[in-house]
């Protein structure tokens, strides 16, 4: 079991300094924010897509130095973020570009030995049945590329905000999530799909972490570990928020769930808001704290 953190707000182009900072803080693994290379909202308005508009070989070549540096530092790329959202209603050209970008992300995964690509599901404004059909068709279309590049695509539990309230969204019901993974793997004829459990999103919706992880079972492949106040998607370091004498996030239940299903993947932290406003001198300190939490989680999960 390894400990990981996302690259977002740790580094963008200065990958050498950023990867060394991650290693020195005590992490083994990196969640590569390749999604930073595509501003979806701007692209949908202007049609401009300078990074992913290049051919696949050029996109892959951009990350060759990242892989060389990571190897030299003893780091691995445990998972990767695809651009979000993956679908823009009513904009066929944007959707074509986004689909092409996701396929190029899979090519990068293969080149840097990253086994998992997290591709968010489509939030559909129609019925739940229509949303299911839209997502099954979308993910099924990615199967040939997933097989070509030997990548496991991970869906993620989502939420939506409306009128200041947090509401359920696609894959927030973990029975539905399990059904998606099983249906897609049946279509693929092999295990090409898994699940990314976002702790913060589940906390926002008041989900029971132990029960949710039981429902996912071995379908769980990746994690987004972060904390919030139960009201907003804050992406902060664990143990940041309390209500009375209790933590807002049920960390004990989360760890109990991971232990019960035998999770042995990367404990990956998606805690970019803990870093974004810090003075540069304090980023290594915060990263060291987050890695320390990871080692504590690791000790709980591996204890006899």
Mean pLDDT of the chain: 95
Structure confidence at residue 264 as a pLDDT band (50, 70, 90)? very high
Residue 165 has pLDDT above 90, yes or no: no
pLDDT at 41: 74
- What residues does each domain of the chain span? 2-302
Work out the average pLDDT over 184-188.
98
Report long-range pairs for 159-167 (Cβ below 8 Å, ≥24 apart).
159/201, 159/204, 159/205, 159/233, 160/123, 166/204, 166/205, 166/231
Whether 63 contacts 108, CB under 8 Å: yes
pLDDT at 287: 98
Nearest CA to 235 out of 245, 244, 224 is that of 224
Residue 226 has pLDDT above 80, yes or no: yes
Peptide bond into 175 cis (omega under 30): no
To which CATH superfamily is domain 2-302 assigned? Answer: Divalent-metal-dependent TIM barrel enzymes (3.20.20.150)
Structure confidence at residue 40 as a pLDDT band (50, 70, 90)? confident
**pTM for this one?**
0.96
Question: Per-residue b/e over 15-38, b at no fewer than 16 CB within 10 Å?
Answer: bbebbbbbbebbbbbbbbbbbebb
pLDDT at 107: 98
Residue 213 has pLDDT above 90, yes or no: yes
Model confidence pLDDT, tens digit, residues 102-134: 999 999 999 999 999 999 999 998 899 999 999
Distant-in-sequence, close-in-space partners of 176: CB < 8 Å, separation ≥ 6: 170
């Amino acid at each position: 079991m390894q400990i990981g953190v996302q690259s977002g707000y740790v580094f963008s182009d200065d990958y050498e300094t950023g990867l060394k900072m991650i290693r020195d803080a005590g992490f083994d693994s990196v969640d590569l924010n390749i999604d930073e290379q595509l501003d979806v909202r701007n692209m949908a308005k202007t049609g401009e897509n300078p990074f992913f508009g290049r051919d696949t070989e050029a996109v892959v070549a951009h990350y060759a130095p990242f892989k060389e540096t990571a190897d030299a530092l003893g780091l691995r790329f445990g998972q990767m973020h695809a651009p979000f959202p993956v679908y823009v209603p009513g904009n066929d050209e944007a959707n074509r570009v986004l689909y092409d970008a996701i396929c190029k992300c899979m090519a990068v995964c293969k080149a840097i030995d990253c086994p998992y690509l997290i591709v968010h599901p489509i939030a559909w404004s129609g019925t739940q049945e229509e949303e299911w059909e839209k997502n099954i068709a979308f993910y099924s279309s990615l199967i040939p590329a997933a097989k070509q590049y030997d990548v496991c695509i991970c869906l993620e539990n989502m939420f939506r905000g409306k009128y200041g309230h947090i509401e359920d969204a696609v894959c927030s019901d973990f029975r539905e999530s399990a059904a998606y993974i099983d249906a897609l793997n049946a279509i693929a004829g092999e295990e090409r799909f898994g699940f990314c459990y976002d702790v913060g999103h589940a906390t926002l919706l008041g989900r029971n972490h132990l029960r949710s992880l039981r429902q996912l079972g071995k379908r769980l492949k990746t994690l987004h570990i972060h904390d919030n106040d139960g009201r907003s998607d804050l992406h902060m370091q664990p143990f940041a928020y309390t209500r009375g004498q209790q933590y807002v996030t049920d960390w004990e239940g989360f760890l109990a769930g991971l232990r019960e299903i035998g999770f042995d993947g990367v404990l990956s932290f998606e805690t970019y808001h803990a870093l974004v406003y810090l003075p540069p001198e304090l980023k290594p300190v915060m990263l060291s704290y987050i890695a320390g939490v990871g080692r504590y989680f690791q000790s709980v999960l591996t204890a006899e």
